[in-house]
Amino acid sequence: MKVCVIGGAGYIGSHAVLELVNDGHEVVVIDNLSTGTRDAVDEKARFYLGDITNEKQLFDIFSEETLLGRFDAVMHFAAKIVVPESVSHPLEYYHNNVEGVRIMLKTMVQHGIKNVIFSSTAAVYGDVKKDICTEDDELKPINPYGESKLASERLIHWVAQAYDMNYCIFRYFNVAGAHESLKIGLKRDNLTHIIPITVQTALKIRSSMVIFGDDYPTPDGTCIRDYIHVADLAFAHVLGMKYIVNENKSATINLGSSTGYSVKQVIDEVSQYFPVNYSIGPRREGDPAKLIASSERAKNLLGWTVKRTLKDIIKTDLDFRIKHETR
């Protein structure tokens, strides 16, 4: 298939590009390089420097590509994803994440493209009170990031209905790790996620780290999350694309492992390689005690399950940071 990957130079997008190329698809990447890098894009993909919120630019790129053959599907990774930043900059988040999706969908309609694969998030569920999240659970985001993704999900739903399109919406849980080739991984300033922070502390890039609360109602008192390796997550996009194109159907699907690990368990696992200097601090606002995906639908519809463990996630992130000496 011919696939357009918007945001294909970023952390998750570049992994999806690699999985698509390896599965034999023709891939075109559009990215504004705001967080991604050109060298993260596989050389078999065609690259355009472009911004999803620039309607004319997106229209022109799609028109140029359509002359060579229409896209079978468009994948969307071009979002802002930092929760605290979304709280301080909601206008930017709605502009980039929601307006960007509206422009993408309009451009797709103008060029007769029928299939869209969209990256959403477990943040659409909000402050979850249940242990395991299923896709039919109540959607009550508690920050602008989650709201912007939910608004995009609804927009996609209505546009797909009006213009006879198919969509695959993926709700990601805690994505981490790097590609086994160690060519691509998470490189960014001011990282906030637990796995890179713990690995950076182990590598002495940080002198210490803080566990945000150890008084949660969990076995060791620290929060439990569902960690998924970025390559497993990326491969699901290939399956999701084939599903909606071949079955002519739409779906909304969680991507997680159905297994949870606590913050302390993550630190223990990283400590197998190097000691991790940490202290216990107060709870971070908005953190649910436990968030685990039900992966039944991904298994039933796509035949997808995770292949990599927490150990693989940590080891690849560690090796990637050692190799690239990255912050």
**Which sequence positions are flagged as catalytic?**
145
310 contributes a contact to ligand UFG by CB under 6 A: no
162 contributes a contact to ligand UFG by CB under 6 A: no
210 contributes a contact to ligand UFG by CB under 6 A: yes
One of 2, 89, 106, 193 touching ligand UFG (CB under 6 A): 193
223 contributes a contact to ligand UFG by CB under 6 A: yes
228 contributes a contact to ligand UFG by CB under 6 A: no
192 contributes a contact to ligand UFG by CB under 6 A: yes
Options 14-22, 156-164, 210-218, 235-243: segment touching ligand UFG (CB under 6 A): 210-218
One of 212, 273, 319, 327 touching ligand UFG (CB under 6 A): 212
**Rounded CA gap, 16 and 20, in Å?**
6
Going by C-alpha positions, the residue among 288, 236, 238 that lies closest to residue 257 is 236
Name the E strands within the chain: 2-6, 26-31, 46-49, 73-76, 115-121, 132-133, 166-172, 174-176, 209-212, 224-225, 227-229, 251-255, 261-262, 278-281, 290-293
**Rounded CA gap, 263 and 259, in Å?**
13
- When computed from its CA atoms, the radius of gyration of the chain, rounded to whole angstroms, is 19
**DSSP label of 108:** H
Site for ligand UFG in 270-289 (CB under 6 A): 284, 287
One of 9, 123, 132, 253 touching ligand UFG (CB under 6 A): 123
SS3 162: helix
Nearer to ligand UFG, 15 or 114 (CB): 15
Tell me how many residues contact ligand UFG (CB under 6 A). 21
